[in-house]
Amino acid sequence: MVNAFTYIDNQLYAEHVPARVLAEQYGTPLYIYSRAALIDAYQSYADACTGRRAKIHFAVKANSNLAVLSVFARLGAGFDIVSGGELTRVLAAGGKPNDIVFSGVGKSIAEMRMMLDMGGRCFNVESRAELAQLSRVAGESGRIAPISLRVNPDVDAKTHQYISTGLKSTKFGIAFDDARTTYRAALDMKYLRITGIDCHIGSQITEISPYLDAIDKILELVVQLESDGALIHHIDIGGGLGIRYDTETPPDIGTFVKTILDHFDQRGHSHREIWFEPGRSLVGNAGILLTRVEYLKPGAVKNFAIVDAAMNDLIRPAMYGAYHAIDAVTPRDDSQPLVTYDIVGPVCESGDWLARDRPLILESGDLLAIRSVGAYGFSSSSNYNSRPRAAELLVDDTRVHVARQRETLTQLMDGESALPHYIK
């Protein structure tokens, strides 16, 4: 895999651009993505799918920036969306309607109509109630909705409980024991057309075995469904392949894809199209977040490095206890003693931390690079504490594209209004 963020002459570079120069020009906090890293990750999937009946749909929730989406659209990717906003973004980035799959547990009537009107590829339906609603909306629109059901196989993905979605205790999918009767109900709805079956068991998965366990259960169900008259053209195994943040050892993308596709072949299902929905594994390690040290605050129990990025910019550590490697953009002389710091932000919460117990050599004003933030970094950022959201850049060799301008304080109040004077 391409590592686009490396040191040259004791300076961190983003591809062939010094990170320090980008921070000086565009300010911090600052997200930076590497086009080369995005292409390399996607090509690893595409190469492993060559000659096989397989399709790659990027999970937009991982990173919905238009520049990132346009990279994948130009490579021929499909897209997995979970909202009307993501649908709008994909189309604006050049995605093809027939390559869009609409997932998510709470699709609104308006979102269903949007997808139907633009001719999307498939709805991944997650409940009996949604199935009935979609049938009504499709009928009112005079259209036939292509569907698959997201089936919950009750398989443990062996990942964080917040991102494990394949167990019966989660809100996602249709219970495995209810799937056959739900498909039978769909067969009787004349405005629906069954095209496949969907399964997504979680995120940041570092072993292949949970996927194989889920696939085996789904294939048993497929045989029953086809005996009932449902035609299953595709099997969507979702995404969730993990990346390395610290010491994780996930399988490489090519090995993962080949193992999955070979398993379908060995089970006698090579005639079906297999859909992958990667998110994190395409963008996670393609992004860094630059932040500047504002203050060093020594303490009796902890030493704090207070930086200008915060939990509103990167929520993963506060939400999941997630680990992100942090490096100095310009490392200081290692003859100086290391000091162990918690890296914290200015947000008024004790949970506002980005890293804990990191040995570093720091002074106020130093730049730090938080690594592996391309997935669920900016896409889950917020304006908490009325903080403007960061700028985003996409670097291509020596070229720099402003993928999103930094939000201004004025923009924070767009759409709001103070109480009028006549209300006492």
Q: Please confirm, yes or no, whether 199 is among the known catalytic residues.
A: no
415 is in an annotated binding site: no
320 is in an annotated binding site: yes
251 is in an annotated binding site: no
Report the C-alpha gap between 37 and 286 in whole angstroms. Answer: 5
Helices (H) and strands (E) in the chain, counts: 11, 21
Marked catalytic residue, from 49, 122, 199, 348: 348
277 is in an annotated binding site: yes
For residue 184, which phi and psi values (nearest 5 degrees)? -60, -40
Four-point Cα dihedral 242, 246, 250, 252, nearest 10: 100
126 is in an annotated binding site: no
Report the C-alpha gap between 193 and 131 in whole angstroms. Answer: 11
Residue with tokens 């060559």: 50
Contact predicate 286/34, CB 8 Å: yes
Q: How far is CA 145 from the centre of its chain?
A: 26
202 is in an annotated binding site: no
349 is in an annotated binding site: yes
Report the C-alpha gap between 368 and 19 in whole angstroms. Answer: 10
Cα 172 to Cα 127, 176, 221: the distances in Å are 9, 11, 18
Report the C-alpha gap between 128 and 18 in whole angstroms. Answer: 53
Report the C-alpha gap between 244 and 234 in whole angstroms. Answer: 30
Q: What angle do CA 67, 71, 75 make, to 5 degrees?
A: 160
Active site residues: 348
Q: Which residues are annotated as a binding site?
A: 240, 277-280, 316, 320, 349, 376
Q: Which residues are annotated as a binding site for pyridoxal 5'-phosphate?
A: 240, 277-280, 376
